[in-house]
Amino acid sequence: MVRLRVLAVVLVMLVSAAGCGRGKQAGNAKLAKQGFVPLFNGKDFTGWEAKGGAQWFVEDGNLVGTQGEKNAPGDLFTTRQFSDFELVVEYRAEWPCNSGVWFRFQNDGKAYQADILEYTNPEAYSGTLYCPGKMFLARNLDKELENRDGWNTMRILTQGTKTQIWLNGVQTADVEDDTTDSGSIGFQVHAGAEFGVMKIVVREMMIKEL
């Protein structure tokens, strides 16, 4: 009886994993028909470069980021620069988490970030638009938009001076700002012992340049 139960659990896990794989492939195919292309090859970091002390690796075809030794932070950036585009990122996080999707990144003082976090002062949650030196340009105040136990979809549309963000289909930002009009796309792992267990996992990253 025990063996049968174990076998049943294994079969459920395999079916679930296969379903997730098919779901990812179907999502990629749908976006591809709309003119999107992958930004990450699911195998290695060709076309990407790491900065700082965070750890970045590929696991089961997913991009994964964690803090490095002694809670070291870091970033992972595309080597290419992008200007106007629509980006779809499917991710999950292990909490507490302070991360985000960098875009139009020129340097530490000239960039935008679609945040993946829970912030208290001022209150802000994932889907918030951050800009160095200007803090939050738009704040998501609905904590429930985030699926803390599973996958989330972040959509970023930036064209000219206008940037819009959606989290799981709900718009969280609609901003006009001219801080930067082009730059790298990337991911952040924030510093701090309070984020020691943080993990950011990205399984889909599709972009359409406009």
pLDDT in tens, 8-40: 433 334 444 444 555 566 667 889 889 999 999
pTM above 0.75, yes or no: yes
Q: Report which DSSP code applies to 152.
A: E
DSSP 7-42: HHHHHHHHHHHHHHHHHHHHHHHHHHHTT-EESS-S
User: The domain 36-209 is classified under which CATH number: 3.30.930.10, 3.40.640.10, 2.60.40.10, 2.60.120.560?
Assistant: 2.60.120.560
- Residues 152/91, Cβ–Cβ less than 8 Å: yes
> Measured between alpha carbons, how far is 120 from 124 in angstroms, rounded to an integer?
7
Going across the sheet that includes 184-189, the strands are: 48-52, 74-78, 184-189, 98-107, 110-120, 123-131, 135-140
The label of the residue with tokens 């980021």 reads: 65
68-104 residue pLDDT tens: 999 999 999 999 999 999 999 999 999 999 999 999 9
Distance, CA of 80 to chain centre: 17
